[in-house]
Structure 1
């Protein structure tokens, strides 16, 4: 595997780093690229997935909002000392909203790639992706109300 490493620019700006070739620019992972696909390791898969999350956080305003709300929800969970089942519900909601936002970002990127000019179908695709995020966000708000509402009420008015 050491022979398969290439120097690629560090995305953080601190210089080059050795990475498997799957992480370099121009690497295509599809069925037509069988030779290179065989070098696509689990490490590359996780690195590419992490890069996608970082891209969404850095470039998507709504992802930053979701991240801020997630931090607040976790802090509130500690302050209100929620139980294990409540933690599971909160963490699942956070993960679902983040995942939906990443999928929405992917949809928007592909739509922009294939249809740079306005098209009604492009608008529909983007609206449906955003709608999926909205559904998860509403469910997360309902779960937050169920988990945090009674505890906050008891803390302030009980």
Structure 2
């Protein structure tokens, strides 16, 4: 008798829960959050979500955020360089020695730099002695120095490419051609500057001499 009563009570309780569920479903809006904060089935879009089997992915995301940065990541720390430890006057002294060594290598190994250095040895005294205003003088001297700067950069690019590989490659050829084009642009700028500033003076001197 007790078993029948308990079975009837469970059946009536299940019917009441079913009626309450139907009432809640009819009163709930389509986009209402059906779960409450703090319940195991609550979906938290900021911290993670649960899969089909109910396992939380929050731990996986935290492990992902704690993974070390790859070497290709721009925010990854640079490797330790023992040659960057100098500071102050020591750094300036070593930088000056490295710069002089670079000039010696360029003069000894780069024929193009030697030719442009010879041209600069002729044009720089002319730029100092020519009777022009200070701004024009700076443009004359700066255009000559710009050619030397671009030639040094082009030589450094070529040396880096040869250090990587001496085999013929399309990208290596392209990099060297781009450096050569930069030197040509610098030479054209130097020629244009001297032609526009010194050209009229030369024409005036020739007319006066004739």
* TM-score bracket for the superposition, by shorter chain length: 0.7 to 0.9
Aligned to 2:126: 76
Aligned to 1:10: none
The residue matched to 2:203 in structure 1 has which SS?
A: helix
User: What is the aligned length?
Assistant: 128
Which stretch of the first structure deviates more once superposed, 122-131 or 60-69? Answer: 60-69
Counterpart-to-counterpart distance in 2, 1:157 and 1:65:
32
> What is the TM-score with the length of structure 2 in the denominator?
0.56
Structure 1 segments (4+ residues) deviating >3 Å: none
- Greater strand fraction, Structure 1 or Structure 2: 1
Shift of 1:79: 4.9
Aligned to 1:37: 84
Shift of 1:31: 4.4
Aligned to 1:97: 147
* Residues 111 and 122 in structure 1, CA contact (< 8 A), matched pair in contact too: yes
Show structure 2 runs of 5+ residues with no match: 1-77
Distance change in 2, residues 1:58/1:83 (3 Å)? farther
Aligned to 1:131: 181
Distance change in 2, residues 1:83/1:139 (3 Å)? same
* Residues 127 and 141 in structure 2, CA contact (< 8 A), matched pair in contact too: no
- Write out aligned runs for 1:1-158 (5 A): 31-34=79-82, 36-39=83-86, 41-158=91-208
Show structure 1 runs of 5+ residues with no match: 1-29
CA RMSD of the aligned region, Å?
Answer: 1.8
Which stretch of the first structure deviates more once superposed, 125-134 or 40-49? Answer: 40-49
Q: Deviations over 1:114-136 (max 9, x none)?
A: 01111111111101011111111
Specify which structure has the bigger relative contact order, considering alpha-carbon pairs within 8 angstroms and separated by 6 or more residues. 1
> What is the TM-score with the length of structure 1 in the denominator?
0.73
